[in-house]
């Protein structure tokens, strides 16, 4: 029997000729990833186990994004712990304030992750890197510490669902609308612990930013990872960027998918996920009765250049509705600078929006204008859990940058086609 992309990557990294669903393997990792929130826990484990070396100072990445800038004394102590660890072990990829950003945006942007990699990280959305044809998955702090020392980790080979994409996305839709639609179809249990492998002619219509957004959010359906085939778009993106030579794995024609789900991209429309479950997805035009207090455009899901451009084109020459707080959060310093050079930042400010430096603070509810009791927000972030973005008695709706920007203009959830005409 053949193998899926995920199975081929795990077999290769475990020095095996083949693997099957449910098999436990000891895999060599190409990258070990931590952030300002998860790295301190891994360092504690690292020191508790009395490790005194790292397996490769060029393959451990620490990015200070979750509480940048420090929100309190405890956070300051954790960040200092990360800085001390990075200095002690001379980590090549340590991203601090001033050259930082959100890890899921930095790694692809800087070419630190590439096709064929096996990547582990303690952040929930480590699965993002399947967009470039890598296997990437969340792990716990103990496993992260072990991988820092030895470069290996124990993994269970996931079963796979084939998400076959047909035709092309409409202009008013993006990868965010696709993944929210998928969440509505799958709910939170059907894909639990599985790999979502994207195939079909429709893949070619998705940009790299679309794919990064989609893979980032497969975990919201309970999936272990998501992965796209390595095609011309992938290789063009990696060319001149990748630190290592990409390794291309292709799923076999008889790959053992549990099932195949077909989605006609041409039939998609702008959608919104309602509080507080990813599966509660409705067409944006069915929610025009919902007024919003806050709009957030950015995060590791939708803080990339295409996302900011979509928001800018929607807001250009218009104004954010009175009493609506619209916040723009670029994904990395490089994206911030590019948006500034393009004049988009001035456009956002002229429209009445606020612009932040790259960070995760608002999404996880750590700092930065978190929501008060009863407030409603439409955001391009990846979670709308009760525990995120502020008070428990608040509402968070998830949408694409175009839908979020259109909603900022009208002050209520708005289908972007209403603004575009």
Q: Which CATH number does the domain housing residue 196 bear?
A: 3.30.499.10
- Tell me: do 29 and 146 sit in the same domain: yes
Helix (H) or strand (E) segment spanning residue 283: strand 281-283
- Tell me: do 224 and 306 sit in the same domain: no
Here the tokens at position 41 are 């826990």
Task: List the one residue out of 298, 292, 288, 353 whose CA is nearest residue 330.
Answer: 298
- What is the number of structural domains in the chain? 2
Q: Is 270:173 a contact under the CB 8 Å cutoff? A: yes
- 5-19 tens-digit pLDDT: 999 999 999 999 999
Q: Output the pTM of the full model.
A: 0.94
pLDDT given at position 77 = 87
Which of 264, 289, 314 finishes a domain?
Answer: 264
Residue with tokens 């944006």: 284
User: What integer is the mean pLDDT of 364-389?
Assistant: 70
Percent of the chain clearing pLDDT 70 (strictly above): 92
Percent of the chain clearing pLDDT 90 (strictly above): 79
Q: Is 215:179 a contact under the CB 8 Å cutoff? A: no
Here the tokens at position 272 are 């919104």
- Tell me: do 203 and 328 sit in the same domain: no
pLDDT given at position 23 = 97
Task: List the one residue out of 195, 29, 234 whose CA is nearest residue 117.
Answer: 29
- Tell me: do 252 and 170 sit in the same domain: yes
pLDDT given at position 33 = 95
Interstrand relation of 325-329 and 135-138 (parallel, antiparallel or unpaired): unpaired
Which of 249, 264, 279 finishes a domain?
Answer: 264
For residue 351, pLDDT over 90 is answered with yes
User: What integer is the mean pLDDT of 110-118?
Assistant: 97
Query: Cβ neighbours of residue 341 under 8 Å, at least 6 residues apart?
Result: none
Measured distance CA(199)–CA(257) in Å, rounded: 12
- 180-220 tens-digit pLDDT: 999 999 988 899 999 999 999 999 999 999 999 999 999 99
For residue 369, pLDDT over 90 is answered with no
- Tell me: do 248 and 321 sit in the same domain: no
Q: Is 9:118 a contact under the CB 8 Å cutoff? A: yes
User: What integer is the mean pLDDT of 357-377?
Assistant: 69
- Tell me: do 259 and 279 sit in the same domain: no
Measured distance CA(64)–CA(161) in Å, rounded: 34
pLDDT given at position 100 = 76
- 122-172 tens-digit pLDDT: 888 899 999 999 999 999 999 999 999 999 999 999 999 999 999 999 999
Encode 293-315 in three state secondary structure: CEEEEEHHHHCCHHHHHHHHHHH
pLDDT band at 368 (very low <50, low <70, confident <90, very high): low
Measured distance CA(400)–CA(220) in Å, rounded: 16
pLDDT given at position 393 = 40
Encode 327-341 in three state secondary structure: EEECCEHHHHHHHHH
- Tell me: do 105 and 253 sit in the same domain: yes
**Side-chain half-sphere CA neighbours of 35 within 13 A:** 25
Measured distance CA(43)–CA(145) in Å, rounded: 7
- Tell me: do 290 and 141 sit in the same domain: no
- Tell me: do 306 and 215 sit in the same domain: no
- 37-92 tens-digit pLDDT: 889 999 999 999 999 999 999 999 999 876 666 667 787 888 899 999 999 999 99
Which of 264, 285, 314 finishes a domain?
Answer: 264
- Tell me: do 161 and 71 sit in the same domain: yes
| Domain containing residue 97 | 5-264
**Per-chain mean pLDDT for the chain:** 92
pLDDT band at 404 (very low <50, low <70, confident <90, very high): very high
- 275-323 tens-digit pLDDT: 877 678 999 999 999 999 999 999 889 999 999 999 999 999 999 999 9
- Tell me: do 246 and 324 sit in the same domain: no
User: What integer is the mean pLDDT of 224-237?
Assistant: 98
């Amino acid at each position: 029997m053949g193998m899926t992309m995920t199975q081929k990557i795990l077999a290769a990294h475990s020095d095996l000729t083949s693997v099957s669903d449910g098999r436990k393997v000891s895999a060599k990792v190409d990258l070990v990833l931590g952030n300002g929130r998860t790295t301190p826990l891994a360092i504690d484990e690292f020191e508790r186990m009395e490790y005194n070396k790292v397996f490769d100072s060029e393959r451990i990445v620490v990015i200070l994004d979750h509480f940048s800038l420090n929100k309190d004394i405890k956070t300051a102590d954790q960040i200092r712990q990360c800085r001390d660890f990075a200095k002690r072990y001379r980590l090549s990829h340590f991203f601090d304030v001033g050259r930082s950003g959100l890890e899921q945006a930095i790694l692809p942007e800087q070419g630190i992750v590439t096709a064929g990699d096996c990547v582990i990280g303690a952040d929930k959305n480590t699965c993002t890197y399947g967009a470039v044809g890598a296997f990437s998955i969340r792990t716990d702090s103990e496993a992260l510490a072990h991988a820092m020392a030895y470069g290996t980790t124990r993994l269970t080979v996931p079963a796979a669902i084939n998400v076959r994409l047909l035709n092309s996305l409409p202009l008013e839709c993006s990868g965010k609308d696709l993944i929210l639609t998928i969440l509505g179809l799958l709910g939170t249990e059907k894909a639990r612990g599985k790999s979502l492998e994207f195939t079909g002619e429709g893949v070619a219509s998705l940009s790299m930013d679309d794919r990064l957004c989609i893979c980032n959010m497969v975990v919201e359906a309970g999936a272990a990872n998501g992965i796209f085939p390595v095609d011309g778009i992938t290789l063009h993106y990696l060319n001149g960027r990748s630190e290592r030579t990409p390794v291309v794995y292709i799923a076999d024609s008889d790959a053992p998918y549990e099932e195949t789900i077909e989605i006609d991209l041409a039939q998609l429309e702008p959608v919104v996920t309602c509080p507080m479950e990813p599966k509660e997805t409705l067409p944006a035009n069915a929610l025009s009765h919902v007024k919003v207090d806050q709009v957030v455009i950015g995060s590791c899901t939708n803080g990339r250049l295409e996302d900011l451009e979509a928001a800018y084109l929607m807001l250009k020459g218009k104004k954010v509705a009175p009493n609506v707080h619209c916040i723009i959060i670029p994904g990395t310093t490089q994206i911030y600078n590019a948006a500034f050079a393009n004049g988009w930042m001035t456009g956002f400010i002229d429209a009445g929006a606020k612009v932040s430096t790259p960070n995760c603070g608002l999404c996880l509810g750590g700092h930065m204008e978190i929501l008060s009791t009863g407030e409603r927000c439409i955001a391009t972030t990846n979670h709308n859990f009760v525990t995120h973005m502020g008070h428990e008695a608040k509402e968070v709706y998830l949408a694409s940058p175009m839908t979020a920007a259109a909603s900022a203009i009208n002050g209520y959830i708005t289908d972007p086609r209403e603004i575009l005409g």
